[in-house]
Each structure stands twice: as C-alpha cells, then as structure tokens.
Amino acid sequence: MKKLALHWKILIGMVLGVLIGVVFSNFEGGKEIIQDWIKPFGKIFINSLKLIAVPLILASLIKGVSDLKDISKLSKMGLRTIALYIFTTVIAVSIGLILVNMIKPGNSISDKTRKELVQNYAENAVKYKNAAEKQKDSGPLQALVDLVPQNIVKAASNNRNMLQVIFFAVFFGIGLILIEEKKAKPVKDFFDGFNEVILKMIDLIMLAAPYGVFALLAALVVESPSVDLFKALGWYALTVVLGLALMIVFYNTLVAIFTKKPPSFFMKGIAPAQLLAFSTSSSAATLPVTMERVTEHLGVDEEVSSFVLPIGATINMDGTSLYQAVAAVFIAQAFGMDLTLGQQLGIIVTATLASIGSAAVPGAGMVMLIIVLQQAGIPEAGLALIFAIDRPLDMCRTTVNVTGDATVAMIVAKSVGKLGEPKVKDWDDNYPKEE
C-alpha cells in the first residue's frame, strides 16, 4: 500500500492534538494530565529541531559558500536576497495596512471589552514592554555590531544568535575559497560529510513530527484562554488571517512568474515546513525542515538554500510585519485614535525594521510591536488588548514567514541558474525516503 505523505500525517497529528486538547479541557484534572504526560513530548520534539539548527547552519553554509568558487557570485546572490526580502516585507506591511483600514476591526471593540482586556493582560504587557525597552536602548548601528560575535563558541551556544553564526560560517567559507585547493579539500570534504549526517538526522526527527505536533497542539489547547475573549477579537484576527492568506497567494504568484512552477508544486513541496511552523510558532525551529524541503523537494541548489534560508529565518518575517501593521492600527482604532497618512507611512518603515529585528521564536513579533506602537504614538497599554489571541496568530504568521523564505530561495536560485529538478518528487512522496 502506498504510504501516506508526510504532510497528511502531520495534519492528522494536528487534528487529533486539538481534539484531545478539547476533550481533556472539559473535565477536572484533564489539563494537568496533558501538561504532565503529553506536553513534554512536544518539548522534546522542538528541542531536537533546535538542536540541529546551529550545526546545520554551520555545515551547510560553509559547504555552500566554499562551493561558490568565486566571491562575486556570493555578493550577487546576497544583494538579490536582501532586495527580495525587503520587497516582500514592504508588500506585506502594505497589505496589512490596506486591510485594517478597510475592515476597521478596532471600531467593533466596545469600551467595556477594551477595559476588560486591558485589565486581564496588563501584567503581561509590562513584561513585554521591558524586553522591548532593552532592545530600544541601543544605538542605531547596534544591529551591525551584534552581527559580529566576539567568540564563536559563545555565539553558537544560543539559538538567538543565529545571525552571528551565519556571519562566522560565511566568513569561514570565504577563507576556504581563498586558500590553496590542496589544503581546502579535506576541510570541504569534512563539512560535506557533516552536512549529510545532519540532513539524515532531520529525516529521522521528521519521523516523529506527527507525534510531536500532536503533543504541541494538545498542550496549546488546554492552556489557551477562554473562547469569549477570542470572540471579541474576531474581526482583528480575521483581518490578520486574511492578510496572511493574501501573502500566500502573492508568493505563489511570484513563484509562478519567476520560476514557472505551478502553485501545486510549490505548496506540496513546502507543506511539511508550513505545518511545522504552524505547530511550533518558530521559524528558527522550523529551519532544518525548510532547508530540507526547499533543497530536496523544490529543486533549489544547496549553494543557494544554505545561504538564503538561514538569513531569511532571522530577518525576513513578512507575516510578522503584516501582523504588526494590523495590530498597531487596530489598537489605535480601539482607543479611538485617527492615524494620519504620515503615521501610517511611519508604520511601514518601523514594522519592516521591527520584523527584521524580531527573533525567530514564539511571541517575538509582539515584543517588537511595542517599538512600532511607540513610534506611531499609540498607547502601549493596547498591547494587552491583543494578548488573548496572539498565539494562534503567531502560528499563522510564522507559517507565512517560512513560506516567504522559501519563495525568495526559489527566485534567487532561478536567477543564478541554480533551480533544477527536485531530488524527491512529491507525487510519489515516500517520506522519509525508504532506502
């Protein structure tokens, strides 16, 4: 019998997770059972993905850069990658702003609900505000300074420092190109083999993915706040989700125009990474799988994917920037503020920068939202308004973030002649591959 494709298995795991979560929320002690006996498996699954992220970036990026042979190719690819990342982010923020101005979700929030929400979540808002303050205290060039680690071991010991590890790997790869071929070969061979091992480890971890997402979603459901709060925020959530859906359409259009690949090919190829992004709310944790899918299933040469994707996971967050734009205007509307055109243009700039600065972990977009609010002069207390529904929206925006990275990887690959036929065809997807 034909084996079920991985994305179906993950989807079944997700649905069962939600169902079990709902069932166990409805009787006494059910929440604790899930927290004690199911949640840890979700944690183990995420940990194993994160565990693989730093070695993966190191191995694949060093291999990728050193394969390039000459450095001018690297700068060509680098410029295109960054330009596309900024372009898609600006489009995302603009879509968000247009929708939120059309739908006006903030106007449907009554005074009473607003006060309730602000009261319920005021404490959390303060916590996030402190985190944002720390980030804001630094000077304008701090991001550049942060790029260069003083110690590679220290940088590699924290998944938040992914850009520093990328910097080291690219630098190392450039060094490798510049030394004598005879000396470079063993080093290259080592990273080649290392890379293969890591890819195999990802295959193995993905065997557990359906169970991992089952545990993650069951835990999420028993821990989520009451449905009533969700209802009050329904229009706001709808605006964000609609914007995110439009972004997926936009990506498919870009892929079709630039690479001539149909949406069914793109979506099928990337689906497991999307589902994982949805379940983990973390682009960083999803990165190993995004790399694997884009390389093996979408036909992007590793030279390109190993460069474009790790950078994308950290700086290209279209879903996050769209959400920040909608959230900022929604809060302004709920507080009865009218934003001028200038203020809205300011939101485009800050939301773009803030999404670049957001870490690729759950909830990071919300911390950076504070900076967007402050810049536009919108009351920060409004953050408490959107807390209740942030996690589900985080799941959706992370899915878009990951899809955006894959889109850019395909376009850049096509533009440098590195988009080929996929190694694994999804229509006979026996994944992980059976040897």
Going residue by residue from 171 to 190, which x/- string records binding to ligand ASP, judged by CB under 6 A?
Answer: --------------------
Helices (H), 38-161: 39-67, 71-103, 111-136, 142-147, 152-156
Which one of the spans 126-134, 267-275, 344-352, 393-401 is the region binding ligand ASP (CB under 6 A)? 393-401
Quote the least distance from Cβ 219 to ligand ASP, whole Å.
17
Under 8 Å between Cβ of 303 and 78:
no
CB closer to ligand ASP out of 215 and 395: 395
Residue 89 as a binder of ligand ASP (CB under 6 A): the answer is no
| Among candidate residues 341, 286, 307, 340, the one with its CA nearest the CA of residue 53 | 286
> In angstroms, rounded to a whole number, what is the distance separating the alpha carbons of residues 342 and 366?
23
Q: Which of 239, 290, 398, 403 binds ligand ASP (CB under 6 A)?
A: 398
Quote the least distance from Cβ 101 to ligand ASP, whole Å.
22
Residue 364 as a binder of ligand ASP (CB under 6 A): the answer is yes
Which one of the spans 61-69, 140-148, 300-308, 358-366 is the region binding ligand ASP (CB under 6 A)? 358-366
Q: How many residues bind ligand ASP (CB under 6 A)?
A: 16
Quote the least distance from Cβ 396 to ligand ASP, whole Å.
10
> In angstroms, rounded to a whole number, what is the distance separating the alpha carbons of residues 60 and 194?
9
For the chain, state the CA radius of gyration. 22
Residue 217 as a binder of ligand ASP (CB under 6 A): the answer is no
Site for ligand ASP in 310-339 (CB under 6 A): 317, 320
Which one of the spans 172-180, 196-204, 258-266, 359-367 is the region binding ligand ASP (CB under 6 A)? 359-367
| Among candidate residues 276, 229, 279, the one with its CA nearest the CA of residue 406 | 276
Site for ligand ASP in 244-303 (CB under 6 A): 281-283
What letter does residue 300 receive in the DSSP assignment? B
The two tokens of residue 6 are 């991985």
Q: Which of 64, 96, 243, 365 binds ligand ASP (CB under 6 A)?
A: 365
Under 8 Å between Cβ of 67 and 304:
no
Within its chain, how far is the Cα of 58 from the centroid?
19
- Nearest residue to ligand ASP by CB is 365
Residue 397 as a binder of ligand ASP (CB under 6 A): the answer is yes
Whether the link from the prior residue into 432 is cis, omega within 30° of 0, is yes
Under 8 Å between Cβ of 354 and 324:
yes
Residue 29: φ, ψ to 5°: 85, -10
Residue 379 as a binder of ligand ASP (CB under 6 A): the answer is no
CB closer to ligand ASP out of 34 and 273: 273
Quote the least distance from Cβ 94 to ligand ASP, whole Å.
18
Quote the least distance from Cβ 364 to ligand ASP, whole Å.
4
Residue 361 as a binder of ligand ASP (CB under 6 A): the answer is yes
Residue 159 as a binder of ligand ASP (CB under 6 A): the answer is no
Within 10 angstroms of residue 330's Cβ, the number of other Cβ atoms is 29
Residue 344 as a binder of ligand ASP (CB under 6 A): the answer is no
Quote the least distance from Cβ 214 to ligand ASP, whole Å.
20
Within its chain, how far is the Cα of 228 from the centroid?
28
For 53, 203, 263, 285, 407, the CA distances from 6, given in Å and listed in that order, are: 21, 11, 18, 18, 21
The two tokens of residue 119 are 């009261």
Residue 363 as a binder of ligand ASP (CB under 6 A): the answer is yes
Binding-site ranges for ligand ASP (CB under 6 A): 281-283, 317, 320, 358, 360-365, 394, 397-398, 401
